[in-house]
Amino acid sequence: MRLLADENMPGEVVKALRERGHDVAWVRTEMPGSGDRIVLERAQVEKRLLLTFDKDFGELAFRFGLPVESGVVLFRIAMSSPAGVAAKATAVLASRDDWSGHFSVVQDHRVRMIAMSARGG
């Protein structure tokens, strides 16, 4: 899977996903300090699923739209430890293959997905 980890994603998550064979670009090392719009544009251009803890991406994704090749996964989980977050992130991403084209919210005990085509804008 092609992923773009936002600057707020722990390094342990990036490392764990790469170890599982995912192509992960990381904002913190490749484009630190970039604004949310720039990050979202990169995800779109490179057809990467954006992983973030920043809920502002929900508004941006729906206001500016995403192509079906892209998507956003917003993590709203307890931050027990970086290793715990990495375990949760890798498990939830492996649990399905239909992330593209959706705005998804990962919570401790559920995942909510909204098709970007249903955004109405």
**pLDDT tens digit at each of 121 positions of the chain:** 999 999 999 999 999 999 999 999 999 999 999 999 899 889 989 999 999 999 988 888 777 766 667 899 999 998 788 899 999 999 999 999 999 989 999 999 999 999 886 544 4
Task: List the chain domain ranges.
Answer: 2-118
Architecture (CATH level 2) of domain 2-118: 3-Layer(aba) Sandwich (3.40)
**Count of residues making up the chain:** 121
Contact partners, residue 16, CB within 8 Å, separation at least 6 = 86, 87, 89, 90
